Amino acid sequence: MPLTLASLVHHTALKLTVRAGEDRLDVPVRWAHASELADPVPYMEGGELLLITALKLDAENPDAMRRYVKRLAGAGVVGLGFAVGVHYEDIPAALVEAAREEGLPLLEVPRRTPFLAISKAVSAAIAADQYRAVTAGFAAQRELTRHALSDGPEGLLTALAAQVDGWAALYDASGAVVGTAPEWAGRRAARLTADVQRLRERPAPASSVVAGPEDEDRVELHSLGTGRRPRAALAVGTAAALGTAERYALHSAIALLTLTTERSRSLHAAEQRIGAAVLRMLLAGQPDHARAVAGDLYGGLLDAPFRIIVAETGPASGARDRGEADPDALGALTEAVESAAARSGEAVLVVPEGDRLV
């Protein structure tokens, strides 16, 4: 868990004493920084524990201390450490009162505790937290890989949802939901189809964040695939922004699903070549040869009366004068037809033929 002021106060070697802001010690500490500037705010990023000896402060002036503490709190400083026994034997009452009024935690640093010791403690705690996150990320990667190999995308979604303490959904090339984990997330995922469509219009890899109403979750959308047109999309919903370990898990899932979709792309291209050969045999009046080549690829489609539909697209805007078909439109139509057939359980043979789709 992240380092907090409470963690530093409980650090037995530092001997810190809380003089104000006792109810705000659970805030995370991003860094410890020593500065004797009268106004260190321009050099703060937020989340720091500021360490001072009040060398250049009028620490006994109530108005000056109110302004000083107010600026620190406004800059996101999470705590103030005051070294006693250096310029002041005790923390001036004006500073203590200003910190209490502003609700800024004020820690008394004994003379025998150097600021360097506090900085080292903060640095070590941050490094340990990062190491735990990386270790958890690698463990999540192994777990996701195991589920992907044994249970396919469905198992991977289930494992990912558990890793991020939320839900996950997979969309196919047409933008339709093909899997969710847990199952109750299906309705939530279905409401994101418009966002998925917008994401698919961008070259892969692409991502976006969808913030729902206050009572809903935060959703990240990621396209899957390496081609110009994404082959699929992944949605992950959580109550809050992902931490480091959860981010590792998400990136691992994206990589695994991308490998799956790219392998599917290669298989799909091979199937289309077989489909083109089968179609030519059918049109040439050789149904027996077509069935022999197709095998079980199209189920019983070739054993029953079937319909042939030919679709043509208009020319692309950039090639309208040349009368060329829009390849993106053909690709989108192919994906939509195959996706609809898969959802309905219908056998279908889709073959691009030049500027037509058969």
What is the model's pLDDT at position 314? Answer: 63
Express each pLDDT in 232-280 by its tens digit: 899 999 988 888 888 888 988 988 888 877 665 665 566 667 777 777 7
Which contiguous run of DSSP H or E holds residue 177?
strand 177-181
Q: Which residue has the higher pLDDT, 339 or 208?
A: 208
Query: Could you tell me if residue 123 is inside a domain?
Result: no
Identify whether residues 138 and 248 lie together within a single domain: yes
Examine the domain organization and report whether 97 and 143 are in the same domain.
no
Domain CATH code at residue 175: 3.30.450.40
Same domain? 294 vs 241: no
The percentage of the chain sitting over the pLDDT mark of 70, rounded to a whole number, equals 79
Is residue 187 in a domain? yes
Residue ending a domain, choose from 237, 260, 283: 260
pLDDT band at 96 (very low <50, low <70, confident <90, very high): very high
Nearest to 196 by CA among 218, 219, 213, 165: 219
Containing structural domain, residue 83: 5-113
Is residue 205 located within the same domain as residue 243?
Answer: yes
The residue among 210 and 75 whose pLDDT is bigger is: 75
Residue at which a domain ends, from 229, 260, 291: 260
The span from the CA of 208 to the CA of 204, in Å, is 12
Q: What is the pLDDT of residue 227?
A: 66
User: How does the average pLDDT of the chain come out, rounded?
Assistant: 83
Strand order through the sheet with 31-34 = 17-20, 106-109, 79-83, 48-52, 31-34
pLDDT at site 316? 54
Evaluate whether 51 touches 34 at the Cβ level (below 8 Å): yes
pLDDT digits (tens, 9 = 90+) for 169-195: 999 877 889 899 998 999 899 999 888
pLDDT tops 50 at residue 4: yes
For residue 56, give the CATH number of its domain.
3.40.1390.20
Distance of alpha carbon 152 from alpha carbon 260, whole angstroms: 9
With a cut of 90, say whether residue 221 has pLDDT above it: yes
In a domain, residue 118? The reply is no
Q: Residue 228 pLDDT more than 70?
A: no
Residues 28-83 have pLDDT tens digits of 999 999 999 999 999 999 999 999 999 989 999 999 999 999 999 999 999 999 99
Whether pLDDT at 317 is above 70: no
More confident residue, 321 or 308: 308
Tell me the three state secondary structure of residue 235: strand
Residue 141 and residue 250 in one domain: yes
17 pLDDT tier (thresholds 50, 70, 90) = very high
Residue 262: the pLDDT is: 66
Of the candidates 72, 22, 20, 8, the one whose C-alpha atom is nearest the C-alpha of residue 46 is 72
CA atoms within 13 A on the CB side of 243: 15
Q: Is there a single domain that holds both residue 164 and residue 193?
A: yes
Do 241 and 275 lie in one domain? The reply is no
pLDDT given for residue 271 in this prediction? 65
303 confidence band (pLDDT: 50, 70, 90): low
The answer to whether residue 320 scores a pLDDT higher than 50 is no
Residues of the chain with pLDDT > 90, as a percent, come to: 43
Domain final residue, candidates 260, 285, 319: 260
Within a domain: residue 170? yes
Spacing of C-alpha 337 from chain mean position: 30
- If asked whether residues 234 and 250 sit together in one domain, one would say yes
The pLDDT tens digits of the residues spanning 123-182 come to 999 999 888 888 887 888 888 888 888 888 889 999 999 999 999 999 987 788 989 999
Taking alpha carbons only, the member of 19, 16, 14 closest to residue 95 is 19
The total domain count for the chain is 3
Report d(CA 100, CA 291) in Å as an integer. 84
